[in-house]
Structure 1
Amino acid sequence: MDYEQLISEALEAPLAGWDFAPLLGRVVEDPLPWDYKRLLLSRLPHAASLLDLGTGGGEFLSGLGPLPPRTAATEGYPPNLPLARRRLEPLGIEVTAVGGDDVLPFPDNSFALVASRHESYDPSEIRRVLTSDGLFITQQVGGQNLDEVNQALGAPPPLAPRDWDLARAGAALAEAGLTVTWSQEAQVRTMFHDVGALVLFLRIVAWQVPDFDVDRYARRLRVLHEQMERGGVLTAHAHRFILLAAPNDRMAHHSQVR
Structure 2
Amino acid sequence: MPIDHPHPSYEALVAEGSSVPTEGWDFSWFEGRASEERPSWGYAVAKAERLSRATAALDVQTGGGEVLDFALGKAAATSKAPRLVVATEGWPPNVAKATALLRPYGVAVVASPEDAPLPFADAAFDLVTSRHPVAPDWPEIARVLQPGGTYFAQHVGPRSVFELVEHFLGPLPAEQSANRHPDRERAGAEAAGLEVVDLRAERLRVEFYDIGAVVHFLRKVVWMVPGFTVETYQPQLRALHERIESEGPFVAHSTRHLFDVRKPASHA
Among residues 8, 11, 16, which one is paired with 2:15 in the alignment?
Answer: 8
Among residues 56, 60, 70, which one is paired with 1:63 in the alignment?
Answer: 70
**CA offset digits 1:26-80 (Å, max 9, x no partner):** 1111222321122212222221111111111111211223231101100011221
Q: Which residue of 2 aligns with 1:42?
A: 49
Q: Deviation above 6 Å: which 4+ runs of structure 1?
A: none
Q: Distance in 1 between matches of 2:143 and 2:20?
A: 40
Judged with a 3 Å threshold, the aligned counterparts in structure 2 of structure 1 residues 215 and 155 are, in CA distance, closer, same or farther, namely farther
- Unaligned runs of 5+ residues in structure 1 are 252-258
Among residues 128, 144, 147, which one is paired with 1:114 in the alignment?
Answer: 128
Among residues 96, 102, 127, which one is paired with 2:110 in the alignment?
Answer: 96
- Unaligned runs of 5+ residues in structure 2 are 1-7
How far did residue 187 of structure 1 move? 1.2
Q: From the two aligned structures, give the one with the greater helix fraction.
A: 2
Q: Which residue of 2 aligns with 1:247?
A: 263
How far did residue 91 of structure 1 move? 2.0
CA RMSD of aligned residues (A): 1.9
Q: Distance in 1 between matches of 2:226 and 2:162?
A: 13
Q: Is the 8 A contact 1:132 1:249 kept in 2?
A: yes
Q: Is the 8 A contact 2:169 2:225 kept in 1?
A: no
Q: Is the 8 A contact 1:181 1:244 kept in 2?
A: yes
Tell me, yes or no, if structure 1 residue 86 matches structure 2 residue 100. Answer: yes
Judged with a 3 Å threshold, the aligned counterparts in structure 2 of structure 1 residues 176 and 33 are, in CA distance, closer, same or farther, namely same
How far did residue 230 of structure 1 move? 2.6
Q: Which residue of 1 aligns with 2:140?
A: 125
How far did residue 153 of structure 1 move? 2.2
Q: Which residue identity is paired with 2:84? A: R
How far did residue 185 of structure 1 move? 0.9
Q: Which residue identity is paired with 1:166? A: P
- How does 1:94-243 map onto structure 2 within 5 Å? 94-119=108-133, 120-155=135-170, 161-163=176-178, 164-243=180-259
**CA offset digits 1:160-204 (Å, max 9, x no partner):** 951111101111010101000011111111111100000000000
Q: Distance in 2 between matches of 1:168 and 1:154?
A: 25
Q: Is the 8 A contact 2:203 2:255 kept in 1?
A: yes
Q: Distance in 2 between matches of 1:22 and 1:69?
A: 33
SS at match of 2:177: coil
Percent of paired sites with the same residue: 38
TM-score, with structure 1 as normaliser: 0.91
Q: Which residue identity is paired with 2:161? A: L
Q: Is the 8 A contact 1:157 1:208 kept in 2?
A: no
Judged with a 3 Å threshold, the aligned counterparts in structure 2 of structure 1 residues 154 and 109 are, in CA distance, closer, same or farther, namely closer
SS at match of 2:49: helix
SS at match of 2:200: strand
Q: Distance in 2 between matches of 1:125 and 1:154?
A: 33
**CA offset digits 1:129-155 (Å, max 9, x no partner):** 111121101111123111100222245
Aligned residues: 250
Q: Which residue identity is paired with 1:75? A: E
Q: Is the 8 A contact 1:156 1:209 kept in 2?
A: no
